[in-house]
Structures are given as C-alpha cells and as structure tokens.
Amino acid sequence: MKDLRMKYTLLITALCFLILSCEKNKDSNSSADKTQQLTNGDWRYDNGGIGDPNGNILVDFSTTGTIPACTLDNTIRFNSNNSGTISENTNVCTNAPATSAFTWSFLNNETVLNVSAGAVAGIGGSFRIKELSGTRLSLLKDTTVTGFGAVTAIVNLKH
C-alpha cells in the first residue's frame, strides 16, 4: 500500500512539473507565435464595418460596400523584418502601383498592431488586436464617424 501511494505521489509530482513546464514554454514563445501567425501568408479582406454602439465588438453596420473593389481584392503580406507589401490583384485601382511597401510593429505587449501607409483596407495607424490566429486577423480602431459619433471600426482579414 505504501509503495502504491509513493508511486502515485511521484506520478502526480511529475505531471505537475510537466504541466508547469508546458505553460512556461507556451508563454515564452507567445511573441514568436504572434509574429509567425501574422507573417505566415498573404492576408485578404474578409469583412468589416462599424461596431460597438452596444459594446459587443461585432460588426453592427457593414462598410464593405463603401470600400472600392480595387482595394477589397488586395493582398497584404507582413514580413518578419517588420516590413510589408500591399499587392494589387485583379481589380487594379487607377494609378495604383502594383505593390506598395509599409512597415508594421506590435505595441503594448503585442495587443496593438501599428501599420503605416494605409495597409489595412486603406487605413493606417494603431489597431487593437481582437483575434490573431493562423487563419484570421481581426483588428479594432476607435474613431469618430459623422452621424454616429465615437465608434469602433472593425476590419477582419483572412488567409
């Protein structure tokens, strides 16, 4: 009985160390994981709009119809060296270059994505990151819109 209790105690102790070790590694790799998720392929506009009159951070009023088709089909590439490229696709905007460069960085413990040159659906600046995964990037930007007042602009990108 004593040997069995000793084995269970050792097993539980080993499991605790294993779990704590995994959690520590998970936390220490979060920066690399976010950069890897952001830079692992081209992003395309999925949907977006104005949200938050009711505080739920969901698109309440779609603005997709107000964005030119030549902007909607662009691809956005974030590179691991904090540079990026916006590429025109089938619908080329008048007088637009085939590609445009921009820079990006994480801010505030990687909870904010800062982009230059209107990289995200024609908008630049700092965006709060609502979601960043291998397939989805959801960004929030507080702004003021005539007729609405203070709102949150929501831009959802996908691979």
The helix/strand/coil state of 100 is strand
Judged by DSSP in three states, 54 sits in coil
CA–CA separation, 59 and 48 (whole Å): 6
Q: What sign results for the dihedral spanned by CA atoms 33, 80, 133, 126? A: positive
pTM: 0.74
- Please tell me the predicted confidence (pLDDT) of residue 30: 54
How much is the average pLDDT of 117-137?
A: 88
Domain boundaries 2-158, corresponding CATH code:
2.40.128
pLDDT at 130: 92
Q: Where residue 147 falls among pLDDT bands split at 50, 70, 90?
A: confident
pLDDT in tens, 29-38: 455 699 999 9
Tell me: the pLDDT tens digits for 54-72? 556 677 777 778 888 888 8
Q: Which of 27-31, 71-75, 104-108, 152-156 has the highest mean pLDDT?
A: 104-108
Domains of the chain: which residue ranges? 2-158
pLDDT at 53: 55
